Amino acid sequence: EVQLVESGGVVVQPGGSLRLSCAASGFTFDDYTMHWVRQAPGKGLEWVSLISWDGGSTYYADSVKGRFTISRDNSKNSLYLQMNSLRTEDTALYYCAKSGGDSGSYYDYWGQGTLVTVSS
């Protein structure tokens, strides 16, 4: 059974930093592209970032480019999101998602999310 478990969400002040983690199990982690997707309270889904199976390619939404860094440790079956220079608009539930299919263009499994609140 595929499981994705996010952690690391807390309340942080504007300008602060945070590192989210996602522990994966139930599939061959290093075969798949992984994503972070977020959802602000009461709002829709927003794609945040992608990392290829080997970490060689990464992409970011314009809203987080230059502030967030995605990474992975295939030896630990873990995905990470380093979040710097946090803004109030970064407040959201952050989901880790596994890519599906050969193209990796959709998300076939999601974690339950970890809540990041940016507030003074």
Give strand pairing partners of 62: none
The tokens for 118 are 């940016």
Burial class (CB within 10 angstroms; exposed 0-12, middle 13-18, buried 19+) of 116: buried
Residue 75 makes CB contacts below 8 A (sequence gap 6+) with none
> Is residue 66 involved in binding other proteins (CB under 8 A)?
no
Q: Within 19-58, which residues bind other proteins (CB under 8 A)?
A: 35, 37, 44-47, 50
Nearer to other proteins, 30 or 109 (CB): 109
> Is residue 3 involved in binding other proteins (CB under 8 A)?
no
Q: How many residues bind other proteins (CB under 8 A)?
A: 24
Q: Within 83-102, which residues bind other proteins (CB under 8 A)?
A: 95, 100-101
